[in-house]
Structure 1
Amino acid sequence: MKRIVRFYGLALLVTLAGQVSFSTASARQGESHWKDDHFIQDFSIKYSYEDVQRPLKKVVTDRNGKIQVLSSAGLLHPHAGAFLYPGDLAVDGTYRFLAEKAIVDLQVYREQLVYLDDEAVLSNAWAGELFSRHQMSGARMFAGGEDFDFLLAGEGELSYLKDSNRLWRSKISGPVLDLKYAPGTNRFWILTPVSLHTFSPETEELKLVFEGADFTAFDVVASGTRTIIGTSNGYIEFNNLSNKAGGEIHRKLPVTEIRTVAEVNGQIWFGTPEGAFSLRRDGGYHYYYGKRWLPDNRVVDIAAGPEGSVLVLTEKGLGQIVFTEMTLAEKADYFEKQVRLRHLRNGFNATLSGMSDGNLSTGYLADSDNDGLWTSMYLAGEVFRYSVTGSDEALQHVRESLDAMERLYTINPVPGFPSRSFERSGYIDVLSDPERWQHASDPEWDWKATTSSDEAIGHVFVFGVIAELIPDEAIRGKAIRLLDELMQHIVDNDWYLIDYDGEPTTWGRWNPEYVNGFATMVGDRKLNSSNIVAMLQTAYYFTGKEIYKEKANYLMENHGYLENLMRPMEEIGRAEEGSDEWAAMLSESWNHSDDEMYFLGYWGLYRYAFTDELRDKYKLAIVDHWEAERPEKDGLWNIFTAMVSPDNFDLEEAIWYLQEYPLDLIHWTMKNSHRKDIVLLEENFRRQSTAEVLPPDELPIRRHNANRFDLDGGRDGNQESSAGDIWLLPYWMGRYLQVIR
């Protein structure tokens, strides 16, 4: 019976060795909410190895959880190492005499470590009594049988021995690639590049059971009933009961060049030159590629690890993939700590940048063009958290980040204009980017200008969420005041964000002349109309100022903004030939940042609608947009849709997103375009590259404004994203809307 490791926060995870349980994930209850049961979360602990001149060969674990690695230079074992904090492989000098042995193979037999050298099969277990001399020149590998009997392979030769007595020997054609003993069959299994053989200790008969070509690795699985044979181009299933191969060779795999095969905890694993993958119960694959999971992608060996983990040995080290049970609430607790420990810059939800190969100690908190947007999303998540839990900690987080948001307005001289960001003077080369960076009146600070529409909609979204859900009058009042100042600036300036130079910013434009200057199929016409109506409704709802209601109705009735925002998504596409360059650029393909702006705006568009009739219309527009977005399985879009359509919003896909998002948010380089198990689509407007979106833990780290169908990407581990906007916002919104319980 497998033991299960429960997850209890950051401190445990950093030192966790992990546990596997392949039970089902959360159980759905009813049609409108999810009961937050335990699911399996995986992550990796990595151990590097730099001595590539002395290759790694094999990895095993004994009954005590001791991991041992065989290299051409001797035995190694892991040193240090924790999640996000890699260790290394060091010389294992635990038993001094082993350093003098020319060990050529290493096995786990009866859960103990057993070795093969040029003299004997030996072990330190069983009081060191196992020392079976083999008298076989050139012995390279071995496998243990039923009762301390062993089959050895050398160059074109097999030898069977027990208690230092050679009971049988035979020549075999071709080099032996691997040996296995399957207790259920009471036979040894032997693989060569072109054949599969069995050896029976009872009859001392060597039998050819299957022939082929380009065999590379194998394992006997399913209690000895099947053999999985890896080849240089796919794998073969051989039925050990009928002595027949099962159908055609399997080639619809992430990678078809198989280097190693292993059954671990009932799952079939494959090692390749481009990562490792395991066979899922539904016939698909879990793919482990890149430094999120492995020291490098060239897999050498795969074996069972301590407490249900899986050990993937590569040419440059060891990846221990750990599987642990946790709930979404426990995952949220981990991510809350991740944000607070490494991603708060002056109250902003920030990225840890400038890291060296994923080393968290080498990063710095970077400013962003979208500091206000990312902080709005994190801040909204904390508001939902407070509303659900009453947490004083969450309320304090709201205070701190709202202070940062407020200073975006006060650090520049333009009333009601939100800066993109601010930073202490001397840390930004203002002269190298004079359009955006400006000196503040306080000589200690600089601020970033050219604020965009995605900043504005993010601000209005979170100000509305705070005003609606935070009872603290000081916090609520500040949010409403900032909302009013921003919207008054836009109304007073003819539907533009006017920068320090008196000119509209590039993207802060909701003026009818600009918006309706686009043809109806250009997305910005629909987007900007939807956003400004949502912004005005929010401002009216919380300030009560009639001007905001009057202006919204004016835009909808006199300039077609209601018609614009109601336009079906299927009508949005590329601008007609001959359109101006700006329209052509904006409609070259779908901009996934627009999705983020739409959905953040939908909060105010729907919840603060002027009339029930308008709310019903808005619902149609929101659901229409969601239908177009469903293939991406974005957790946030599904949760937003629960606000307007609580009985139909892809609840299971939202949970899938939250469960499958990796704990490791470092921007490792990921690659999937080479995979043979995915169906690639022809180029299209929405840039959907595959028929099915891949799980988040197999993709580059993506914020909600990115295309989840981008198969390749990453930054070689030079930054870590905050979970604040990526994960905590959809989770806590789901909790607030009671679709996650």
Structure 2
Amino acid sequence: MLFNTCVRLLLGCFFLPLFVHGQTAKQVHRDRVFQQDYAVKYVGDNEAKERFSLAVDRNGTIQVLEKGKLLRPAFGAFQQDGILVADQSYLPMKDKNILAIIQHEDQLVYLDDKAVLSNAWAGDLYLMHDLKNPYALTGGKEMDFVVVSPNQLQYLKKGQKTSAISISEPILDLRFDSKRNRFLLLQASGISSYSPGGTQISPIAKGEKLKAFALDTQKDLAVIGTENGFFTLNLSTNQASGLQTKLPWTEITAVEVNGSDYWFGSKKGVFRLDEKGTVSYYFGDRWMPGEEVRDLALNKNRVHVLTEKGLSTLVFEEMTLAQKAEILEAQVRKMHIRNGFNASLQLAEKGNISTGRLKDSDNDGLWTAMYLGGQAFRYAVTQDPEALANCKESLLAMERLYTINPVEGFPSRSFERSGYITQLSDPDRWQHASDPEWDWKATTSSDEAIGHVFVFGVLAEIVDDPWIKAKSVELLDALMNHIVKNDLYLIDYDGKPTLWGKWHPDYVNGFPKQVGDRKLNSSNIIAMLQSAFHFTGKQVYKDKAFELMEKHGYLENLMRPMSVIGQAGDGSDDWSKMLSESWNHSDDEMYFLGYWGLYRYAFTPELKAQFKKSILDHWEAERPEKEALWNIFTALVQPENFDLEPSIWFLERHPIDLISWNTQNSHRKDIKTLPANFRRQSTETVLPPSETRIMKHNANRFTLDGGSQGLSVYSAGDIWLLPYWMGRYLGVIE
């Protein structure tokens, strides 16, 4: 297991409102144990048949049957693919022609061309049969078994063997109904029953294109998968439910029941249906080496899934958010720190982390600012010296963005050692530094700038370290002095404004009122100027902010309701049309990072109240995404009402495997799609992070398909750790 949980917290699901003088003051989530899912995969083409090819015993021993021989998984671990190898643990088994394998009373039981046998129970089980080409079996409650061939069935028990019974239609699956002491037999056209030692088969229900089934003993149901969904059969009344087709995929190949959870294998992945009707879908390379599920086996907190391209073990490990944070913190430090930056890993081989190289990014400063902000919140909460060391290391990287280029107060996008430009992304943006050992990346954008201002404010305010406070204020002042001195533009090495670093009224108010950049840039620059004034006390920043708000309409711009924001419309310039074709989710990231300085460092209580109104208006538009970071930023201004439960849902359901595997959901039959719209919301309800591609906060969470073919690894530093530690700092996650 990834993390041995020795102590199980006796905590329920608590989202507690705190009360002060009769008024609700804050929602608080008390950490709880939840099940974190991840996969261990064993990759390799195999020719196992659809059922009776996979079993696991009480010790967790897994066996796969292929062409009469037994295989076992080997060498697999989290984010490290294993393989299936010949199982030689019982030497005599290698000479047997094994035709089926099952789990019976938590042990492995085999069917070969002569008998039903096992190595459990001191090897005492050996029941000979008379069938030709048998392929399936199941066990009863008295160590008795039913074996089937394409046209016969035979009952076996120690000291007793019935004559084979003819069957008119192949049996696809069989189970034992212990409540009624009978064997249930599934055929494509219905279900029949057979009493132990009997001489006939009795039909009990008809169906069409049945494929597999399992028994829900708690509810006394048979859960029956078909080629087009599933239904249940009440075993007391033989009454069938309606066919359920609102599933990720309806071609069912295997069914298992685990308590109140139903597990379905299909031609496109495996999915779980819980007692509330919630679907959890496991499909794609993150979860499985193949697409088609041939067999399922359940064992404790693991679900073993056999596909045409190997075996996957889905692990459900109990942990808390605090323990998950430890896992992700370790991932970041091990794989994602490049010169102090929070970086992604580029892989040379699909999913193979050992082939990774740290990758530069246009937004090294932004992603690092977000990671650094999370570490600042972590240190403020825990006083952990490791968090403080992380802050200092990444702040040094942020500082060097300013000192490695010749333009005073101008932040580079990134830097790297000389001679590697042709191997990096965007080689045309790179410039040589005065130090011949280094190059730096130009054309810095507005999202970099707002990220810098956000984290410098956080560090200066909450991290109790003199050097960090002083350095943060110094860099904040340098950036804002550059912007104000250059008439509200970021001026690059060539003396020209960068493409996006523009907050001047001529640029901002040049957009129609409904174009989002007019509102966004106004909101960001006021937040930036307020932050600079708050920490430096320099009047120029305050004066410039009021000039923009009072003379150039920036207050009106930033207060404009989100309902107004839309397409530029006819008669607008091409730039405005391009920027407003649909909602840009990078804008959300810029808005919310800016809200820290906009609200927290507001010049007056009156402005603070107005800014709160604007922030809440934006949050209302974002609520369908269930984005933890936007929700927790909203807790800054409205801790009593900010969608706490969806935030915890995001944090708990987010994968700990951050490889950017390709994912596909557009084929699903259980989601309701929406017509094309400005916000690019594709479905009525957002899917869990575990079922979509890995996304940073600037992505559209309603994206159904995507990924980078398993060739990159994202960092949890900005994606997960920032919202978690910000929630801890604000006291809404305990």
Deviations 1:423-455 (A, max 9, x none): 111111299956411011111111100000000
Q: Identify if the C-alpha distance between structure 1 residues 51 and 547 changes in structure 2 by more than 3 Å, giving closer, same or farther.
A: same
Match of 2:2 in 1: 13
Match of 1:268 in 2: 262
Structure 1 residue 720 and structure 2 residue 724: aligned? no
Q: How does 1:541-556 map to 2 (within 5 A)?
A: 541-556=534-549
Q: Quote the offset at 1:169 in angstroms.
A: 2.8
Amino acid at match of 1:282: K
Structure 1 residue 619 and structure 2 residue 612: aligned? yes
Instruction: Name which of structure 1's ranges 428-437 and 96-105 shifts more when overlaid on structure 2.
Output: 428-437
Q: Identify if the C-alpha distance between structure 1 residues 456 and 268 changes in structure 2 by more than 3 Å, giving closer, same or farther.
A: same
Deviations 1:701-726 (A, max 9, x none): 01000000001111111011000000
Match of 1:184 in 2: 179
Match of 1:366 in 2: 359
**Conserved 8 A contact 2:531-2:597:** yes
Q: Quote the offset at 1:164 in angstroms.
A: 6.0
Q: How does 1:413-492 map to 2 (within 5 A)?
A: 413-429=406-422, 435-492=428-485
Q: Identify if the C-alpha distance between structure 1 residues 686 and 524 changes in structure 2 by more than 3 Å, giving closer, same or farther.
A: same
Q: Quote the offset at 1:336 in angstroms.
A: 0.7
Choose the corresponding residue for 1:58, options 29, 50, 53.
53
Instruction: Classify the secondary structure of the residue corresponding to 2:2.
Output: helix
Match of 2:293 in 1: 299
Match of 1:26 in 2: 13
Q: Quote the offset at 1:149 in angstroms.
A: 1.5
Q: Quote the offset at 1:42 in angstroms.
A: 1.2
Choose the corresponding residue for 2:378, options 385, 408, 422.
385
Unaligned runs of 5+ in 1: 1-11
Instruction: Name which of structure 1's ranges 292-301 and 409-418 shifts more when overlaid on structure 2.
Output: 292-301
Structure 1 residue 143 and structure 2 residue 138: aligned? yes
Q: Quote the offset at 1:260 in angstroms.
A: 0.8
Q: How does 1:241-320 map to 2 (within 5 A)?
A: 241-246=236-241, 248-305=242-299, 307-320=300-313
Q: Identify if the C-alpha distance between structure 1 residues 431 and 81 changes in structure 2 by more than 3 Å, giving closer, same or farther.
A: closer
Distance 2:59 2:475 in 1: 60
**Conserved 8 A contact 1:512-1:559:** yes
Amino acid at match of 2:114: E
Q: Quote the offset at 1:214 in angstroms.
A: 1.0
Distance 1:538 1:359 in 2: 43
**Identity percentage of aligned residues:** 56
Choose the corresponding residue for 1:409, options 390, 402, 414.
402
Amino acid at match of 2:2: L
Deviations 1:102-127 (A, max 9, x none): 11011122221111111111111122
Match of 2:668 in 1: 675
Instruction: Classify the secondary structure of the residue corresponding to 1:176.
Output: coil
Q: Identify if the C-alpha distance between structure 1 residues 408 and 431 changes in structure 2 by more than 3 Å, giving closer, same or farther.
A: closer
Q: Quote the offset at 1:317 in angstroms.
A: 1.3
Distance 2:469 2:113 in 1: 77
Deviations 1:297-318 (A, max 9, x none): 211111112x321111111111
**Conserved 8 A contact 1:62-1:112:** yes
Amino acid at match of 1:301: D
Q: Identify if the C-alpha distance between structure 1 residues 547 and 273 changes in structure 2 by more than 3 Å, giving closer, same or farther.
A: same
Structure 1 residue 154 and structure 2 residue 143: aligned? no
Match of 2:20 in 1: none
Q: How does 1:584-595 map to 2 (within 5 A)?
A: 584-595=577-588
Distance 1:157 1:431 in 2: 66
Instruction: Classify the secondary structure of the residue corresponding to 1:731.
Output: helix
Match of 1:642 in 2: 635
Q: Quote the offset at 1:70 in angstroms.
A: 1.1
**Conserved 8 A contact 1:56-1:69:** no
Q: Quote the offset at 1:386 in angstroms.
A: 0.6
CA RMSD in angstroms comes to 1.9
Distance 1:168 1:653 in 2: 60
Q: Identify if the C-alpha distance between structure 1 residues 64 and 422 changes in structure 2 by more than 3 Å, giving closer, same or farther.
A: same
**Conserved 8 A contact 1:259-1:271:** yes
Distance 1:147 1:434 in 2: 73
Instruction: Classify the secondary structure of the residue corresponding to 2:703.
Output: coil
**Conserved 8 A contact 2:182-2:193:** yes
**Conserved 8 A contact 1:46-1:295:** yes
**Conserved 8 A contact 2:346-2:712:** yes
Match of 1:96 in 2: 91
Distance 1:540 1:430 in 2: 41
How many residue pairs align between the two structures? 725
Instruction: Name which of structure 1's ranges 618-627 and 263-272 shifts more when overlaid on structure 2.
Output: 263-272
Q: Quote the offset at 1:24 in angstroms.
A: 9.1
Instruction: Name which of structure 1's ranges 694-703 and 119-128 shifts more when overlaid on structure 2.
Output: 119-128
Deviations 1:142-175 (A, max 9, x none): 1111212211111211111222642243211211
Structure 1 residue 497 and structure 2 residue 476: aligned? no
Q: Quote the offset at 1:73 in angstroms.
A: 4.4
Instruction: Classify the secondary structure of the residue corresponding to 2:523.
Output: helix
Q: Identify if the C-alpha distance between structure 1 residues 54 and 208 changes in structure 2 by more than 3 Å, giving closer, same or farther.
A: closer
**Conserved 8 A contact 2:421-2:427:** no
Match of 2:42 in 1: 47
Amino acid at match of 1:286: S
Match of 1:396 in 2: 389
**Conserved 8 A contact 1:222-1:266:** no
Q: Identify if the C-alpha distance between structure 1 residues 379 and 363 changes in structure 2 by more than 3 Å, giving closer, same or farther.
A: same
- State the TM-score, normalized to the length of structure 1: 0.95
Q: Quote the offset at 1:22 in angstroms.
A: 14
Structure 1 residue 330 and structure 2 residue 291: aligned? no
Distance 2:49 2:168 in 1: 29
**Conserved 8 A contact 2:145-2:157:** yes
**Conserved 8 A contact 2:68-2:96:** no
Amino acid at match of 2:506: E
Q: Identify if the C-alpha distance between structure 1 residues 89 and 24 changes in structure 2 by more than 3 Å, giving closer, same or farther.
A: farther
**Conserved 8 A contact 1:182-1:224:** no
Q: Identify if the C-alpha distance between structure 1 residues 431 and 321 changes in structure 2 by more than 3 Å, giving closer, same or farther.
A: closer
Q: Quote the offset at 1:671 in angstroms.
A: 0.7
Instruction: Name which of structure 1's ranges 467-476 and 709-718 shifts more when overlaid on structure 2.
Output: 467-476
Q: Identify if the C-alpha distance between structure 1 residues 422 and 432 changes in structure 2 by more than 3 Å, giving closer, same or farther.
A: closer
Instruction: Classify the secondary structure of the residue corresponding to 1:414.
Output: coil
Amino acid at match of 2:275: R
